[in-house]
Structure 1
Amino acid sequence: MNQNYIDGLRGRGAFTLGDRKRPNILFISFDMVPREFYLPTEGDLAPRTPNLDALRRDGLFFSNAYAASPLCSPSRAALFTGRYSYITSNGERAHDGHQVHVREDDTIYPEYLKASGYRTRHFGKCHIGTAKFMAAFGENDHPWDRWSPPWYDDDGYREFLAQNGITGFRFSREIHGVAPSGRGKGNFMGGWVETENGKPFTKEATYPAYTTALALAGLRAREADPRPFYFEVDYFEPHQPFFIPSGYEQRERELRALVTIPESWETALSGRGRPLPTVYARYQKYWGLSERQTVEDYLVANVLQYEILDENVGKLLSYLKAQDLYDECLIVATADHGEMNCRNALVDKGAYLNPRVL
């Protein structure tokens, strides 16, 4: 075996390369997936995910995996570097000497794949620094790394909308918490969308569809390339704010007939039950989930958003099967962390080291 380096001039990233055939790799990640979406228990509102279910049947399912951090950036940094968050020292916000992105001299595993001869490409959210992703995936990469949802300021997506005959969109129904003051609208958590002139917003024009279209175009572009590929598709979804298009009206009615409000939500609002960490009370006030209708809307929209993702994963898997690549491709589907999903009157993730998040 020969000694190789990611950066031979500086001797950085040493590795050896064996003689075995290297598989193609498709890495798919989602952002903030509730535990009940893949390990539902009685009473949970579980999504229909035929494509992810098929992938699970064909491969291995890790039911006891955990995230290194309950936050996007540090969790992703741990995944890419193989180091715990206290070593990477990056967070959602740069405070106390921390930084948002991984350090320039940190090595992420796609750099090894690229240096060893893989064709590496990335599509979607990176959230650990676009400069590092450019080094690992190349100048034609499509990473984005921002706080706001990508629908508003992703120029590529705006062009994609125009190609679908859409010049803009608006929310026909919104999900809001109650403001911390206890009066008026608080946090915006997305909802149901239509075009700016009130017409149906098709699922073919959503951001998951755009991310998938980029990935499929990249896969087709490599068909004449003999190198093995590592393609990474990082979806923003199902992270709120939700973006539910038309075409799911019947499914929404079915879910609303099945949804049950978590018992811990009522317990949290009533003050009964065992004491929770102080930070929980702070975030309960921040999210403002004091109305039953808001909780129902959130639970239903979260499931719908995940089912939309499953449809898009199906497009990627169908391509691999059509190209006779599926059986010999290493396919990974994972998430950066979980979320509370209205348990304990909380949503999202962040400050709570709860098993549902980790």
Structure 2
Amino acid sequence: MKTRIIASLLLAATGFVHGKAKVPNVVVFLVDDLGYMDVGANNPDCFYDTPNIDALARSGMRFTDGYAANPVCSPTRYSLMTGKYPTRARATNYFSGKRAETFNPAPLNDNMPLDETTLAQALKTKGYATFFAGKWHLGESEEYYPQNRGFDVNIGGYSRGGPYSGNKYFAPFKNPEIKEESPEGEHLPARLARETATFIEANKARPFLAYLSFYSVHTPLQGRPDLVEKYKKKAAGMAGDEFGVEEQIWPVEKERKVRVLQKHAVYAAMVEAMDEAVGQVLRQLETSGVAENTLVVFTSDNGGLATSEGLPTSNLPLRGGKGWVYEGGIREPWIVRYPGVTKAGSESAQPICSIDLFPTVAAAAGVRIDHVVDGIDLLPALKGGTLDRQSLYWHYPHYGNQGNFPGGAIREGDYKLVERYEDGQVHLYNLKKDIGEQDDLAARQPERVEQMRKRLHAWYKTVDAQFLREKDGKTPWHP
């Protein structure tokens, strides 16, 4: 008996109980504005070279139907940190986007409330070391910054949504949360990857969370000169129109261009430099001897920038892009490698969302969740099975910078219903047959429209959704 007790204590101390491996380390790669079609793993004809991301997909599971909770950055970042739909906190636009057009936008809470439990705070209850690098954009002042939301280390995360200070993507950065300045000219993604790798090596003997949240590939569009030159040469041999015309938007005011061909050399350089940084961190996991006990997640916060602000990428065949509730604005690269759970080179068509990161990581780490979350543990899908969830929802009651219409959406199975908030018009698409959302089935399937719309409106009430407001005497539609 005494021998068995001693053995049990030793197993517990080393992290092995009942034959189960110790809790995994966690590495999250979050890329800013990276579209679903911007990585080779999703797009064999991709203009951009992403060998490290593609290798990660070959070593883990690629989700074909992975989503962001919102078509712009701050709300999705909130959902990744909390496991909740951002509508619950009225954090429904980038902080702080308050543009008004035909109508006034819904009220916006432009911070992640201080009473939210973040992913980092949850993992610290299990003894994790926690690290954040890159873009935060979840509050205007220091009490909202990563170091006060559960992260032991913060390199570069503060209020700004892009690298707008100093020399932007090149040192000197003049970022108030990068305390030790880089050598002049150092590239920002390389600096963030270097800091992440250093943290991994220093904490390899204990469980850790390393959350690398790139500023890339957000504007300003700046690339390393060597990579820009590479893609200029590559683009020179490509034929075809780079731009097309977007749909007319209600109310019709003007035509909008949309990029239909990936050919932007500077954007391509930004994508490849980000991929190199991903590779640097993945190699550090191997060098530190922790790769086989590290859960790695790679995703983006919204779709590629295809309809405004330089139109640097194309999301085709997906419709729209950043700022839109069409697939181009919300369908994201999602790759998960969980050694011992995911099968190398596997794929899943299960619809997943950024709200699922928190509960999935919490379950892997043995964290008990005793508060409301909207996401679910993805373990069944990671093992190759199905998920028990009827619907996913989106709510964007704002005018973004990308020419969008304020709207909401619900996905159930292969079907997606889009609802426009200015006039209440709805559209229905079968994504399995029509991933480009061109064939509107609403008039042909009124019963399905009624059922899905009823559930969408019930969800609005559950999360206390806010909508467009009157402007200049004009009253918008309201559910």
Distance 1:278 1:339, change over 3 A: farther
| Partner SS for 2:237 | helix
The CA deviation string for residues 198-233 of structure 1, in whole angstroms up to 9 with x for no partner, is: xxx5xxx1111111122122223224xx42111111
Q: Counterparts of 1:43-122 in structure 2 under 5 Å?
A: 45-90=46-91, 91-92=93-94, 93=96, 96-122=106-132
**Whole-angstrom CA distance in 2 between matches of 1:280 and 1:245:** 38
The CA deviation string for residues 262-302 of structure 1, in whole angstroms up to 9 with x for no partner, is: 4xx3334xxxxx533448948x4xxxx69x9xx98972222
**Whole-angstrom CA distance in 1 between matches of 2:252 and 2:77:** 24
* Contact 1:35–1:339, Cα closer than 8 Å, also in 2: yes
Aligned to 2:189: 208
Aligned to 2:280: 315
Distance 1:257 1:144, change over 3 A: farther
**Whole-angstrom CA distance in 2 between matches of 1:75 and 1:141:** 19
Q: CA deviation at 1:311?
A: 0.7
1:154 aligns with 2:126: no
* Contact 2:24–2:295, Cα closer than 8 Å, also in 1: yes
1:353 aligns with 2:333: no
* Contact 2:135–2:161, Cα closer than 8 Å, also in 1: no
Aligned to 2:245: 267
Q: CA deviation at 1:325?
A: 1.4
Aligned residue type for 2:301? D
1:324 paired residue among 284, 289, 294: 289
Aligned to 2:236: 256
1:127 paired residue among 133, 137, 143: 137
Aligned residue type for 1:254? K
Q: Which runs of 5+ in 2 are unaligned?
A: 1-14, 99-105, 167-173, 314-320, 331-479
The answer to which structure has the higher strand fraction is 1
**Whole-angstrom CA distance in 1 between matches of 2:179 and 2:125:** 34
Identity of aligned residues (%): 23
Distance 1:324 1:158, change over 3 A: closer
* Contact 1:34–1:341, Cα closer than 8 Å, also in 2: no
User: Larger deviation: 44-53 or 303-312?
Assistant: 44-53
Aligned residue type for 2:245? T
Distance 1:320 1:353, change over 3 A: same
Q: CA deviation at 1:327?
A: 2.1
The CA deviation string for residues 152-184 of structure 1, in whole angstroms up to 9 with x for no partner, is: 2315669544x2xx3xxxxxxxxxxxxxxxxxx
Distance 1:94 1:36, change over 3 A: closer
* Contact 2:264–2:312, Cα closer than 8 Å, also in 1: no
Distance 1:281 1:146, change over 3 A: farther
| Partner SS for 1:219 | helix
1:276 aligns with 2:249: yes
Aligned to 1:217: 198
**Whole-angstrom CA distance in 2 between matches of 1:36 and 1:277:** 27
| Partner SS for 1:232 | strand
Q: CA deviation at 1:306?
A: 0.6
**Whole-angstrom CA distance in 1 between matches of 2:252 and 2:206:** 50
**Whole-angstrom CA distance in 2 between matches of 1:67 and 1:259:** 33
Q: CA deviation at 1:144?
A: 2.2
**Whole-angstrom CA distance in 1 between matches of 2:121 and 2:253:** 39
2:159 paired residue among 129, 145, 148: 145
Give the aligned length. Answer: 284
Name the TM-score, length of structure 2 as normaliser: 0.53
Q: CA deviation at 1:331?
A: 0.7
Q: Bigger relative contact order, structure 1 or 2, given CA contacts below 8 A and separation 6+?
A: 1
RMSD: 3.3
Distance 1:87 1:158, change over 3 A: closer
Distance 1:41 1:330, change over 3 A: closer
* Contact 2:31–2:213, Cα closer than 8 Å, also in 1: yes
Aligned residue type for 1:234? S
| Partner SS for 1:26 | strand
Q: Counterparts of 1:14-53 in structure 2 under 5 Å?
A: 20=20, 21-38=22-39, 45-53=46-54
Q: Counterparts of 1:143-182 in structure 2 under 5 Å?
A: 143-152=157-166, 153-155=174-176, 160-161=181-182, 163=183, 166=184
**Whole-angstrom CA distance in 1 between matches of 2:85 and 2:137:** 16
Name the TM-score, length of structure 1 as normaliser: 0.69
Aligned to 2:302: 337
Q: Which structure's CA Rg is the greater one?
A: 2
| Partner SS for 2:133 | strand
| Partner SS for 1:356 | helix
User: Larger deviation: 125-134 or 45-54?
Assistant: 125-134
* Contact 1:45–1:303, Cα closer than 8 Å, also in 2: no
* Contact 2:133–2:213, Cα closer than 8 Å, also in 1: yes
| Partner SS for 2:30 | strand
User: Larger deviation: 346-355 or 325-334?
Assistant: 346-355
Distance 1:208 1:41, change over 3 A: closer
* Contact 1:78–1:88, Cα closer than 8 Å, also in 2: no
1:229 aligns with 2:243: no
Distance 1:150 1:325, change over 3 A: farther
* Contact 1:256–1:300, Cα closer than 8 Å, also in 2: no
**Whole-angstrom CA distance in 2 between matches of 1:27 and 1:317:** 11
The answer to which structure has the higher helix fraction is 1
Q: Which runs of 5+ in 1 are unaligned?
A: 1-16, 167-200, 269-273
**Whole-angstrom CA distance in 2 between matches of 1:18 and 1:319:** 24
Aligned to 1:244: 223
